[in-house]
Amino acid sequence: MLEIRNLNVFYDQVHVLKDVSLRLEKGSCLTLLGANGAGKSTLINAICGLIGPASGSIVFAGREISRLPAYRIVGLGIAQVPEGRQVFANMTVRDNLRLGAYARLSKEGKKDIQADLEKVFDMFPRLRERKNQLSGTLSGGEQQMLALGRAIMSHPKLILLDEPSLGLAPLVVSYIFEMISRLRQEGGISILMVEQNARAALRIANRGCVLETGRITMEGLSSELINNPELQKAFLGGSRA
């Protein structure tokens, strides 16, 4: 579904992603771990077309996308849930969700979009209760639900999540992770997730990889990584999962 080969990204002279290669199978979940500044968000932004790579390729559903503009990439079925959610604070919950379907508006009728809105509200009843509320006044957890719902509205085949648990209370994190798991299992959506909460992320992912100063240094099944002593020391507080 997604295959990245030898991707190199620079910010001016600074080489941020160095020969990064990774694969994500259809309907699977891959979690990307790494210290602050390792280049995780840069990788997500490169896949979405927000940063142009210097070299390498990104193939999505059999198509080279590394030089396509972001709006075309959304149209092909890749949705991003950015770090810090980035909902439109002065718009209502319902309007934020409708915006997620923007790329489909010209092709499909309003009726389909209304039906999808109901599906998102069924998945996140909290959003239905708050559909007329300004999004900037939602709690952090509700904003994360909204950002996920907005991504779902674009009918994605792949969702890129950048630190979905950031700043959320443990109970809310469990709920959000359960929803991400459901999207993959029931919706068949592939997930690439950057996460600091390595333990929770590896529990719902099939595979994981570690990015260190721009290079992939470890890659494997989540069940293996979670028991890897090196990874435990770096990301799991040294204890066994």
Residue 130 Cβ vs ligand ATP, minimum distance, rounded to whole Å: 28
**Cα distances (angstroms) measured from residue 35 to each of 83, 88, 127, 160, 210:** 15, 29, 33, 18, 9
Say which amino acid occupies 233: K
What character string, x for contact with ligand ATP (CB under 6 A) and - otherwise, covers 6-25? -----x----x---------
Q: Is residue 82 part of the contact set for ligand ATP (CB under 6 A)?
A: no
Beta-bridged to residue 7, according to DSSP, are 20
Residue 38 as a binder of ligand ATP (CB under 6 A): the answer is: yes
Q: Which is nearer to ligand ATP, 36 or 90 (CB)?
A: 36
193 touching ligand ATP, by CB under 6 A: no
User: Can you give the three-state secondary structure of 11-40, one letter per residue?
Assistant: ECCEEEEEEEEEEECCCCEEEEECCCCCCH
The yes or no reply on residue 42 touching ligand ATP (CB under 6 A) is: yes
Minimum Å gap between C-beta 128 and ligand ATP is 32
Our CA angle for 209, 210, 213, nearest 5°, is 145
Neighbours of 183 (CB within 10 A): 21
164 near ligand ATP, rule: CB under 6 A: no
Axis crossing angle, helix 110-123 with helix 140-152, rounded to the nearest 10: 140
Residue in 41, 66, 80, 144 binding ligand ATP, rule: CB under 6 A? 41
Instruction: Give yes or no for residue 37 binding ligand ATP (CB under 6 A).
Output: yes
**Which positions lie near ligand ATP, rule CB under 6 A?**
11, 16, 34, 36-42
